[in-house]
Structure 1
Amino acid sequence: MTEINGYTQSDNEKELHILNLPSLEAEAKKIIPTGGFGYISGGSEDEWTLNENTKAFNNVQIVPRVLSDIDDPQTDTSIFGIDLTMPIITSPSAAQGLAHSQAEKDTARGIAKAGTIMSQSTYASTSIADTAEAGNGAPQFFQLYMSKDWTFNESLLNEAKRVGAKAILLTADATVDGYRESDIINNFQFPLPMANLEKFSSGAGKGKGIGEIYAAAAQKISPDDVQRIKDITGLPVVVKGVQSPEDALIAIGAGADGVYVSNHGGRQLNGGPASFDVLADVAKAVNHKVPVIFDSGIRRGSHVFKALASGADIVALARPIIYGLALGGADGVYSVIEHLNNEFKTVMQLAGTKTIDDVKHAKLIKK
C-alpha cells in the first residue's frame, strides 16, 4: 500500500477471478478508504435513480432464437473509424488515485490490453499526457468538464488533441454537483491533487470537496459550445448526459458527432429516469445520424445486449472498472472488462446472434 497525505492507496497488480461485477463493490470497499469509497460508489440524495439504473434492465426480456447455426459470436465493432474488440468502453471517472496508486495510468494499460477505449476525465489524478502515454497508443477519449475559464478549456483540449485523443466528450449534465450524502457524511475532501487542474494552480483539487471543484465549472452550456470545441480541436464531439429525444436533436443540430445517453451513474439528478428507460426513445430520435453511447447501470452481459438491442452503438461503465483497479491494478481492469465481454458473448450465443449488428436487431419484450 502507498500512503499520500494520510490517504492509503492500493498497489495491487494481479488478475482477478470474478464471479460477477456486482460482487466487486463489497471487495473494493475493504481496501479503499471510507471517504474515497463513498465518493466512488455514492449517488445523489437517497440514490433512487442510482438503484433504478440497474433495475431498469429487468423491464425488458431478450427473445432467444434457436436453430441459428452460431458457434462463435463476434464482438468486434467500431466507432469514429476506430476498430474495437468489443462494444464496451470506459465511462470517464474522476480521481482514480482514490482507488490505486497508479490511478488512470493503470486503467489505460488494462483497457489498452483489452483492445477498447478508455475515456479520460478532466478531474483525473494523472495528466492527459501521462495517461495517454500509459495507454501506449491505444485509442482514448477525453471528457471535458467545461470551465467558466476558456483559457483553461482550450489548454486541456489542445493537450488532448496533441497526445492523440480520438474524440471529446462534453459533459452537459453536471453544471453543479448532485447532492451526494455520502460525501457529506464522510466530510470528504480530495486527498490528492488533480493533475489537469495543477497546470493552473499548484496542488489544485487537494483538500477540496466536490462542490468546491464544481464551483469553477460552467453553469451555462449552450449548443454553441459544441461547435466551439470542434473548432478548437477538429475532433468529433459527443454530448454526454442526454436523457431526452429533444436534447438529442438539439445536440445533433449543434454539430455533435455523437450522443451519449447517461444520467451520470445516478450522481446528479435524483428522481430522474433510469438511463436505460430513455435509451430507446433517444435512439429513435437520433435515427442513426450519429453514434449513440450509453452508460449508467451496466453490470451484466445481458445489460450490454439489451442496451445495444435498444439502440446503443457502444456501452460504457465506470464503477466496476474502478473496483477492478483497486483490487488488481491494470490486470484487474483488464479482468473486469474481459469478464463482462465474455458474459456478453454467452448471451449472444444463447440469443442466437452472431454479430453486433445481429444484436442490434434482436427482439426484446417489454414487461
Structure 2
Amino acid sequence: MMTIVNGYEQSDREEHINVLNLESLEARAEKIIPKGGFGYISGGSEDNWTLAQNRKAFTHKQVYPRALANIDQPDLSANVFGLDLKTPVMMPPLAAQGLAHAKGEMDTAKAFAAEGALMAQSTYSSASIADTAAAGNGAPQFFQLYMSKDWKFNEAVIDEAKKAGVKGIILTVDATVDGYREADIINHFQFPIPMANLEKFSQGAGKGQGIAEIYAAAAQKISADDVRRIAEYSDLPVIVKGIQTPEDAELAIGAGASGIYVSNHGGRQLNGGPGSFDTLSAIAQAVNGRVPVIFDSGVRRGSDVFKALAAGADLVAIGRPFVYALALGGALGVQDALQEINHEFATIMQLAGTKTIADVKKAKLADFNY
C-alpha cells in the first residue's frame, strides 16, 4: 500500500480508521511515514520546548460544567468570513502533505469538503493550487502565501489561487527564516517530492532541497506595507498568520488585514516563546471583534477547541493529527479524525451548557492553579 517516488515511500491507503483520539494517531503514523518525512512533520525547533508548551498551555484554563442549561444536540455550525461552515475546526496550511500520502493535499481537501469544514492550502503544497481546489469540489478554501523576494512569483501564485476560487489569502509572517529544526538535521532531510507550486512557477521544485534552501527564496523582511500590498493586489480578504502579540495584531489590522491568525507555527519557529493558547486572549481582546480570529498550535482535544473559542477565536485549526490520519487512511482517514474531534467538541459543548458556537464564545473559562 505504498507509492514510491524518487525512492520515497508514500502511503496510498484509502480506508476508514479507528480514532480513539487525535493524539493516538502520531505513534501509528510513525510506523508508516518514512523517518525523514515523519521528522519534518512532527518536529519543532531546537529542543521542542515551545512545541511542548503549546499542549501545556491548555491546562492553564478550565471549562466550567453547566448542569441545568436545558439543552441537547449542540449546533457546531459557524459563519466566519461570510462562509457557512458545519464546524469551526479547520485545516491549517500545512506544507508538503505528500510526505504522508501519495494524494497529499488533494485527499485532505476532499475530506474537509465532505465534512463541511474549511481547508487552507500552502504555497509549499505537494499538490498544485488548482488540483487541491478541484479536489474540494467547490468547497471553500483559503490559500496561504509564503511571500517570496520575487514579487512576480507572489503575483503568479495569487493569480492562480484566485483562478481556483479561493476565498482568502493567508499571509504567513513568522517564517522569514526557518526555525532551527534539529530532527531535519539529524535525518539529513531533503524534500524527496517536488512542491507543485514552486515547480510550476520556477522557484525550484523543492526536490532534493533542504528547509534552509526553500526558505532562502522567501522574503526575509515583511512589514505592514506588504499586508496592504497583497490585499490591494489580490482583492481578497488577507488573514495575517503568525501573530503572537496584540501589537502585531494592531499593525496588521491597521494595514488592512481582514483576519488575525494567532499561531506560533506549531512550535516550529521561535523556540522559547509561550504556548500559543497563552497569547490568544490578549490578542482577541485587542482585536475586539473588528476582524475574525483564527487560532492554531497544540490543539488536540475537543476541550481545546472549546477553550480556544471561549478565549476569543472564531476558527480553530489542527494540523499534524490530520496529516497522520491522512497517512493512515487517506481522505477517509482524515474524515474519521475530523468526525472524532467534532464529536469530542460537541460533547464538551453539551456538558458546558452551550448550544451554539455563539454560546461557546460567551462562556467564561476557569483559571485555577493546580
- Short-chain TM bin: over 0.9
Given that 1:190 and 1:206 are in contact with CA atoms closer than 8 Å, whether structure 2 keeps it comes out as yes
Give, as a single letter, the amino acid of the residue that structure 1 aligns with 2:339: E
Structure-to-structure mapping, 1:1-367, within 5 angstroms: 1-201=2-202, 204-367=205-368
Contact 2:119 2:142 in 1 (8 A): yes
Give the deviation of 1:200 after TM superposition.
3.2
Normalised by the length of structure 2, the TM-score is 0.98
Q: Residue 203 of structure 2 contacts residue 217 of structure 2 at CA under 8 Å; is this kept in 1? A: no
Q: 1:214 to 1:355 in 2, by over 3 A?
A: same
Cα drift, residue 175 of structure 1: 0.1
Secondary structure of 2:109's partner? Answer: helix
Where has structure 1 moved over 3 Å in runs of 4 or more? 200-203
Q: Quick one: distance in 2 between partners of 1:181 and 1:81?
A: 40
- The superposition leaves residues 181-217 of structure 1 with CA deviations (integer Å, 9 ceiling, x where unpaired) of 0000000000011000012338610000011000000
Distance 1:200 1:90 in 2: 24
Instruction: Output the aligned Cα RMSD.
Output: 0.8
Structure 2 residue identity aligned to 1:240 = K
Separation in 2, partners of 1:225, 1:203: 23
**Equivalent-residue separation in structure 2 for 1:48 and 1:282 (angstroms):** 22
Q: Which amino acid aligns with 1:310?
A: A
Distance 1:98 1:271 in 2: 28
Give ranges in structure 2 of 5+ residues lacking alignment: none
For the 8 Å contact 2:156–2:201, the answer to whether it is kept is no
Query: Partners of 1:76 and 1:178 in 2: how far apart?
Result: 36
Whichever residue aligns with residue 334 of structure 1, its letter is Q
TM-score when scaled to structure 1? 0.99
> Identity across aligned pairs (percent)?
68
- Partner of 2:142, secondary structure, is strand
* One-letter amino acid of the counterpart of residue 250, structure 1: L
Displacement of 1:337 after TM fit? 1.0
Deviation at 1:301, TM superposition (A): 0.0
Could you say if the C-alpha distance between residues 164 and 200 of structure 1 is closer, same or farther in structure 2, counting changes exceeding 3 Å?
closer
Instruction: Report which stretch shifted further, 65-74 or 41-50.
Output: 65-74
Q: Secondary structure at the match of 1:3?
A: strand
**Alignment length, in residue pairs?**
367
- Show CA shifts across 1:236-290 (max 9, x none): 0000000000110110001000000000000000000100000000000000000
In the alignment, the residues of structure 1 paired with residue 56 and residue 338 of structure 2 have an alpha-carbon distance, to the nearest angstrom, of 21
Query: What amino acid sits opposite 1:174 in the alignment?
Result: A
Tell me the distance in 2 between the aligned counterparts of 1:202 and 1:7. 22
SS at the partner of 1:179? coil
1:246 and 1:366 map into 2 onto residues whose CA distance is 24
Moved more, 11-20 or 287-296: 11-20
The gaps in structure 1 that reach 5 residues or longer are none
How far apart are 1:230 and its partner, in Å?
1.4
Paired amino acid for 2:4: E
Encode CA deviations 1:302-343: one digit per residue, 9 max, x unaligned: 000000000001100110010010000001111111110110
Deviations 1:99-152 (A, max 9, x none): 000111101101100101110000000100011011100100000000000000
Partner Cα distance (2:282, 2:232) in 1: 30
Instruction: Answer yes or no: is the 8 Å Cα contact 2:148–2:219 preserved in 1.
Output: yes
- Residues in 2 aligned to 1:229 and 1:78: alpha-carbon distance in whole angstroms: 24
Q: Give the drift of 1:66.
A: 1.5
Distance 1:48 1:312 in 2: 24
